[in-house]
Structure 1
Amino acid sequence: MSATTETEGTTAAGLIPRLRTLTTSGVSDALDRLGIAGQALGIAPLDRSFRLAGRAWTLRYGPVGEDRGTVGDYIDDLGIDDVVVLDNQGRLDATVWGDLLTVTGHRRGVAGTVIDGVCRDVDRSLTLGYPIFARGNWMRTGKDRVRVEATQVPVSIGGIRVEPGDLLLGDGDGLVAIPAARAEEVLAVAEEIERAEDAIRSAVESGSSLRDARVANHYHDLQHGSGGRR
C-alpha cells in the first residue's frame, strides 16, 4: 500500500462515524450539489432496515473460459469498517455471495456487502442482521460460472465507479458512494443539508407552512438547482 493510499484510508476511517449519522437521501443531495455521480442505480438492501457505512474493498468478477472459475477466499482478510464490493457485471443468473461468506463476514465484523449482481441464502443474512445490498437473490451458484479477475481495483456498481477506499452508505433508500478524495467535502455539505431539513421538519410540526419553513431555512439555496427532496 502506498503512503498516499494509507493516508486516504486513515482519513476515510476517521469520517465513517460521521457517515453513519447521515441518510442516503442527504448524501445524494450533497453529491448532486457538488456534481459527483455516486447514486448506485438498482442496488437495494435485502431488508429495508439494513444500513451499512464503511470503506470499499473491491473485487471484479468475469465469466469463466476453458478454466474453472474461482470465487476467492478474500473474506478472511477483512474486518470492521470494510464493505465488500463485488462487481459481477449485473449478472442475475449466478450468485457470488452466500451463507458461508455471510457467516464469516458477520463473525469478523465486516460492515456489509454490496453486489452488482445477486446473492443467495437470504435467510442467513436476515437472521444475523448482516447487511447485503444487491440486485436481488437467486439460488444458482457462481462456482465454475464466474472467476475472480482482480481485487482492489476500480469497479462498476449500479452504473457508478467505486474505487478501493471510497466511502459507501446504504439504507432503505439504496446505496451511495463517495470518492475518498472528496469525502470530507461531501459529508460537510450533506450535514448542512440535513441540519436545514431537520429545522424545516421541526417548523412544520410546530405549525409553520412548508413554504415559510423552506424560505426561513434557505432550502432552495442549499440545493443549488439540484431540486432537493420533496
Structure 2
Amino acid sequence: MVDEKLADGLNKMGVTALSDALDRLGIDGQAVGIMPVVRDMRFAGPAFTIRMLPVGLTGGVVGDYIDDVPAGAVVVIDNDGILDQTVWGDILTFVAHSKGIAGTVIDGVCRDSDRCVELSYPVFARANTMRTGKDRTTADAYNVPIQIAGVRVAPGDWLVGDADGVVSIPADRVREVLAVAQEIEEAEERIRAAVRRGMRLDEARRAANYHSLQTRRQDQ
C-alpha cells in the first residue's frame, strides 16, 4: 500500500526544495532534462521500474506490464534517453489513469500527449514525438534497478515531479529528505517575511543562514 500521507507531503513540498535537500544530504537524485508534458502536472509515489531494450532478434512488446502496476505507484521507464521512438502513448495513459497510477516518468519520449492532458494524467519525458516503439523497443525487465537521466532508481524509491522536473529519493531516506526540505522551506519563508517587514535581502539571508542551507554537512 502506498503511504498517501507521505505522497501528499512530498507533493506539497515540490521538487526544488527536495532537490536542495538531496544536495545537502549528498544524494544524487535530480533527473535533469525530464519534464512534464504540461507545467501543472505533478505526482509523488514509489517507483515501478521498467527497463527497455532494442527489439533486435528477440521480439517483444512495449507495454503489457501496465496491469501489474499498483495504484499510487509511478511507472518509471529507462529507455536510455532515446528520442526517435516512443514507449508510452494513448492506451497506456488511459489504463494508468483508470487504475489510479500516480504518474509516468520516461527517460525517452512519449506520444499521444493530448490524452494525458485530457485526463490530467502526469507524464514526464524528455520530449514527445509520433513514432511508435512497436517492433523497435521491448520491455526487457520489470522492478529492477534502472537509470533515468543518469540517476539510479530502484523499485520502491520515491519519485516526485512538478513544473520544475523530477527527483528520485531512495526509499530508505525519503522521510529524512522530506524533513530537510521542510527545514529549508521554513528558512526561506523567514527570509520572505523579513523582506516584507522591510529588511534588506542580504541581511535577511544572513539571519536565516541562507547560503549554507543546501551545503552538505559533515553530520549528515
Same fold (TM over 0.5): yes
Q: Which runs of 5+ in 2 are unaligned?
A: none
Q: CA deviation at 1:155?
A: 0.7
Counterpart of 1:110 in structure 2 is 101
User: Does 1:34 find its partner at 2:64?
Assistant: no
Q: Select which of 75, 90, 95 maps to 1:99.
A: 90
Amino acid at match of 1:53: A
**Cα RMSD (Å):** 1.7
- The whole-number CA distance in structure 1 between the counterparts of 2:189 and 2:69 is 36
Q: Which residue of 2 aligns with 1:166?
A: 157
Partner residue, 1:63: 54
Q: 2:125 maps to what in 1?
A: 134
Equivalent AA in structure 2 for residue 164 of structure 1 = P
* Structure 2 residue matching 1:21: 3-state secondary structure: helix
Task: State the distance in 2 between where 1:79 and 1:122 align.
Answer: 23
Does 1:186 find its partner at 2:174? no
Percent identity, aligned pairs only, is: 57
Partner of residue 191, structure 2: 200
What's the TM-score, normalizing by structure 1?
0.89
Task: Render the CA deviation track for 1:138-163: whole Å, top value 9, x for unaligned.
Answer: 11111110111100001110111011
Q: Tell me what 2:134 maps to.
A: 143
The CA deviation string for residues 119-142 of structure 1, in whole angstroms up to 9 with x for no partner, is 000111111111111010011111
1:120 equivalent to 2:114? Answer: no
In 1, distance between residues paired with 2:74 and 2:91? 16
Structure 1 SS opposite 2:179: helix
* Contact 1:13-1:55 within 8 A present in 2 as well: no
How far does the alpha carbon of each residue in 1:84-138 deviate from its partner, in whole angstroms, 9 at most, with x for none? 0011111111100000011111111111000000000011111111111101001
My pick for the range that moved more, 206-215 or 181-190, is 206-215
Q: If the length of structure 2 is used for normalisation, what is the TM-score?
A: 0.93
Q: Distance in 1 between matches of 2:128 and 2:83?
A: 8
Q: How many residues align?
A: 217
Whole-angstrom CA distance in 2 between matches of 1:224 and 1:66: 49
Name the SS for the 1:91 alignment partner: coil
- Matches of 1:48 and 1:121 in 2, distance apart? 17
Aligned: 1:223 with 2:202: no
Report the AA paired with residue 97 of structure 1. Answer: W
Moved more, 151-160 or 217-226: 217-226
The question of whether the paired residues in 2 share the 8 Å contact of 1:69 and 1:145 is answered with: no
Give the match for residue 5 of structure 1: none
